[in-house]
Amino acid sequence: MNLTTRTATPEDTAKMAALLEELFSIERDFTPEMEKQLSGLNMLISSGANSRVFVAEAADGVVGMVTGQLLISTAEGGKVVLVEDLIVEKQFRGTGVGAQLLKEVEVWAESVGATRLQLLADKDNGPAEKFYTNSGWVKTNLICLRKTGGQSNLCPGRSELQK
For residue range 27-62, what is the model confidence (pLDDT) as tens digits?
777 777 889 999 999 999 998 889 999 999 999 899
Say if CB 56 and CB 97 are below 8 A apart: yes
pTM for the whole structure: 0.87
Which DSSP state fits 20?
H
- The candidate with the shortest Cα–Cα distance to 63, out of 8, 134, 127, is 8
> Rg (Cα) of the chain, in Å, rounded?
17
Residues 6+ apart with CB under 8 A from 87: 19, 20, 22, 23, 64, 65, 66
Residues 6+ apart with CB under 8 A from 124: 28
Tell me the one-letter amino acid at 10.
Answer: P
Task: Tell me the three state secondary structure of residue 70.
Answer: strand
Q: Name the band, by pLDDT with cuts 50, 70 and 90, for residue 117.
A: very high
Residues 6+ apart with CB under 8 A from 35: none
What percent of the chain has a predicted confidence (pLDDT) above 90? 68
Domain ranges of the chain: 4-161
Q: What's the CATH fold of domain 4-161?
A: Aminopeptidase (3.40.630)
